[in-house]
Amino acid sequence: MTARLFLARPLRGTVGETRRVCHLFPVPDEETARLVALCGDEFGPGQLEQLDRPAGMPCESCLGRVPRDRPEVGGA
Ligand SMILES: [Zn+2]
């Protein structure tokens, strides 16, 4: 099973400029009011702009949590 992900970042003005990084979000199975990035940051409606490709700074915490297609060698 491959998790579908999309990229989005907070809209200008919703957070400080230094926190406007590209987060990775799992595509929700159903309509949901709040979206939770892989790193755990939560966003409500109207707080995000979806991106077609990475732009600006990526969220390092999200990148480190991207699900792998293959099990990691030596993983639990
Ligand atoms: Zn993130």
Domain spans, the chain: 5-63
Ion ligand 1, residue ranges at CB < 5 A: 23, 37, 39, 59, 61-62
pLDDT of residue 67: 80
**CA 73–ligand 1 middle distance (angstroms):** 25
Of 55, 32, 54, nearest in space to 45 by CA: 32
Q: How far is 10 from 45, CA to CA, in rounded Å?
A: 11
Beta-bridge partners for 25: 6
State how far Cα 8 lies from the chain centre: 6
pLDDT mean values, one per 10 residues, the chain (76 residues): 84 91 91 91 93 89 85 56
pLDDT of residue 48: 95
**CA 38–ligand 1 middle distance (angstroms):** 6
pLDDT of residue 72: 60
Element (H, E) at 43: strand 42-43
**CA 55–ligand 1 middle distance (angstroms):** 14
